[in-house]
Amino acid sequence: MSRKGNLAKIHIAKKELGISDDAYRAMLMEVAKVNSASKHSQINVDDVRYSN
């Protein structure tokens, strides 16, 4: 899947899971060391797992 498609999947999942912006950015920082998915050079949704 393309980078644009992966970013779309991430944002759809964020919305469907009801993750707040603060929690989303904290998760990105923990997993990828960035505060925005668009700043990550290798977006792969299969590598990201959400657990609460």
Query: Each residue of 12-38: pLDDT tens digit?
Result: 999 999 999 999 999 888 888 888 887
3-state secondary structure of 25: helix
Q: How confident is the model at residue 47 (pLDDT cuts 50, 70, 90)?
A: low
What pLDDT, on the 0 to 100 scale, is given for residue 16? 96
- Look at 50 and 30; give whichever has higher pLDDT: 30
- Mean pLDDT, residues 41-51 taken together: 56
Name the token pair of 13.
């999942």
Q: What is the pTM of this model?
A: 0.64
Residue 20 φ/ψ region, left for φ over 0, alpha for ψ in the -120 to 50 degree band, beta for the rest: beta
State which H helix or E strand residue 32 sits in.
Answer: helix 21-32
Q: How confident is the model at residue 44 (pLDDT cuts 50, 70, 90)?
A: low
